[in-house]
Amino acid sequence: MLVNQEKILQSLIADNLVSDPDSARGRLLRKAAGLFRDKGYERTTVRDLAAAVGIQSGSLFHHFRTKEEILKAVMVETIRLNTAVMQAAKNAADSNREKLKALVRAELESINGQTGEAMAVLIFEWRSLSEASQAEVLILRDIYEALWLDVLNALKEDGSLLADPFVVRRLLTGALSWTVTWYRPERGGLTSEGLTDQVIAMLGLPVLSGRG
């Protein structure tokens, strides 16, 4: 079952957990994600960020004190949004196998969809954060990862999954993240649903709906 991502986004905005994409702060974070991915965090200047949203460099600091705060906000808001989407997708599924399928599809869509740039920044610019900022992001990442491990552990316990859940999740993290380099559904390839089914089959789980 597909979840209403717009409804989830609006709820997070109302709770001040993520920025409204149409706000000045939201536009800045979106442009920053693209620049950090394309140029790298270190090579992206405050002037680059300001020019991308059409403001003076000093105006950036009405929203953030430092460039690193912008980087951290890109990561934090991305994790919050995707965690909420994945939690909703998991809750809407009935069986453990369907819950895993929902998580795989949601992550594929986050990596290859509107948060793809920010997800890439989260992976490749992690070391650019200070230790204090890394600690804050890790708390959120652990919540995100717990969604996966809860389902994978349940599948392990009922005998549906033979491999170690932690190892499976680490392998899935790399495999799903790498799809951004080759997955092109707009060229007539696999749909998101089809690719999700391939991932589930690769894990040795039945593709057809069933209890698990």
What H or E segment, with its residue span, contains residue 107? helix 96-112
pLDDT number for residue 14: 95
Alpha-carbon separation of residue 169 from 90, 126, 206 (angstroms): 16, 19, 18
- Give the model's pLDDT for residue 74: 96
Nearest-angstrom CA–CA distance, 159 and 84: 28
The per-residue pLDDT for range 112-137, each reduced to its tens digit, is 888 889 999 998 999 999 999 999 99
Angle among Cα 4, 7, 8 to the nearest 5 degrees reads 85
Q: How far apart are CA 158 and CA 211, in angstroms?
A: 11
CB 114 within 8 A of CB 42: no
State the Cα–Cα distance between residues 152 and 70, nearest whole angstrom. Answer: 34
Chain-centre distance for alpha carbon 167: 19
Q: Which residues of the chain have pLDDT under 50?
A: 1, 209-212
Q: What is the model's pLDDT at position 19?
A: 94
pLDDT at 210: 41
pLDDT value at residue 20: 94
Structure confidence at residue 30 (pLDDT)? 94
DSSP designation for 2: -
Place of tokens 């709820």: 11
State pLDDT tens for residues 27-38: 999 999 999 999
pLDDT at 211: 39
Positive/negative CA dihedral, 37, 40, 43, 46: positive
CA distance 29 to 25: 6
